[in-house]
């Protein structure tokens, strides 16, 4: 009879990944697994685990196999229709929260919300703020809506391309976005998890800056005076994004580094 221990070593996966798959197959939390490392595992569960392990070895992201990913301490459902939430994007949420005290009458716009990770995290941390989230993809919005319901976050979703998803009137205190910013020619698109993620969430099909340029250019029509815009971007795009913000009339323009020490989030106030 196989055990968690023997299956983990048979799987050929890093221990943490094997554990995540075992947790799902056995419907047990991490603590249980650690304490029952050598308990016998039913043959059907063992077989199911080995099938998932084989898919993982072939590259399928762990988040797709287990169906969820943690972000800001929240469990978000993910699918192949949305970008898998990444740890560096938590910094985008933190900057948004720094620019946004909790207060009725305040509002935040998340452009291209995907799984809803950023909008939902802000809504949960600032329950009285009005949070609006957009996406071009109906399937992404349906998933984001499901995530918001599951986590009891109050977010208003709207379908459309960037600002086109919004009604003409009404301005926001803060706008955030993690748009597709990888250049079309970047070899990373054909490596790792990115091969399994929606291409439209990763690249603009051009130099990687076109969505960022578009969002910056339109921001003044949708922000209040003194409002903040915070953007996630590629590690080599910080200076260009800062420059675009300055040219669009933003003040206090600043770039923040992610956990890997790379320039990742740039913002400014109008
Ligand atoms: N941060 C992602 C990556 O480099 C890209 C996300 C994006 O394009 N917005 O894997």
Domain boundaries, the chain: 4-58, 79-269
Q: Model confidence over 229-268: pLDDT tens digits? A: 999 999 999 999 999 999 999 999 999 999 999 999 999 9
Confidence bin at 25 (pLDDT 50/70/90) = very high
CA of 10 to the centre of ligand 1 (A): 32
Cβ 178 under 6 angstroms from ligand 1: yes
CA of 67 to the centre of ligand 1 (A): 19
Closest atom of ligand 1 to CA, residue 89? 1
Cα separation of 88 and 96, whole Å?
14
| Assigned token pair, 205 | 């099909």
Mutate to test the pocket of ligand 1, among 112, 182, 203 (most ligand atoms within 8 A of CB): 182
Cβ 92 under 6 angstroms from ligand 1: no
Least Cα distance to 234 among 206, 266, 269 occurs for 266
Place of tokens 């469990």: 75
| Assigned token pair, 64 | 């797709």
Closest atom of ligand 1 to CA, residue 86? 1
**pLDDT of amino acid 72:** 98
**pLDDT of amino acid 167:** 81
- To the question of pTM greater than 0.85 for the whole model, the response is yes
**pLDDT of amino acid 169:** 78
Cβ 265 under 6 angstroms from ligand 1: no
Beta pairing, strands 107-111 & 156-159: unpaired
Place of tokens 């998932």: 52
CATH topology of domain 79-269: Rossmann fold (3.40.50)
Cα separation of 269 and 95, whole Å?
12
**pLDDT of amino acid 101:** 83
User: Average pLDDT of 150-165?
Assistant: 97
Least Cα distance to 252 among 236, 228, 222 occurs for 228
- Looking at residue 146, the DSSP 8-state letter turns out to be H
């Amino acid at each position: 009879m196989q055990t968690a221990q023997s299956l983990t070593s048979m799987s050929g996966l890093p221990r943490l990944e094997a554990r995540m798959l075992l947790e799902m197959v056995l419907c047990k939390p991490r603590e249980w697994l650690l304490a029952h490392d050598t308990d016998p595992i039913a043959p059907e569960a063992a077989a199911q685990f080995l099938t998932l392990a084989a898919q993982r070895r072939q590259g399928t992201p762990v988040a797709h196999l287990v169906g969820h990913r943690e972000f800001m301490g929240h469990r978000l459902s993910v699918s192949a229709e949305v970008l898998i939430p990444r740890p560096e994007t938590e910094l985008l949420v933190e900057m948004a929260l720094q620019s946004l005290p909790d207060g009725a009458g305040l509002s935040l716009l998340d452009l291209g919300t995907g799984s809803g990770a950023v909008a939902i995290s802000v809504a949960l941390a600032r329950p009285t703020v009005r949070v609006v989230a957009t996406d071009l993809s109906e399937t992404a919005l349906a998933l984001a809506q499901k995530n918001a319901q599951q986590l009891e976050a109050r977010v208003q979703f709207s379908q459309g391309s960037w600002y086109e998803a919004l009604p003409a009137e009404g301005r926001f205190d803060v706008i955030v976005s993690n748009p597709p910013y990888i250049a079309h020619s970047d070899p990373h698109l054909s490596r790792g998890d990115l091969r399994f993620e929606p291409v439209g969430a990763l690249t603009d099909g051009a130099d990687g800056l076109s969505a960022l340029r578009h969002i910056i250019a339109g921001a003044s029509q949708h922000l209040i005076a003194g409002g903040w815009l915070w953007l996630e971007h590629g590690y080599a795009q910080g200076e260009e994004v800062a420059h675009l913000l300055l040219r669009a009339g933003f003040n206090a323009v600043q770039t923040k580094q992610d956990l890997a020490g790379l320039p990742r989030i740039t913002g400014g106030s109008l």
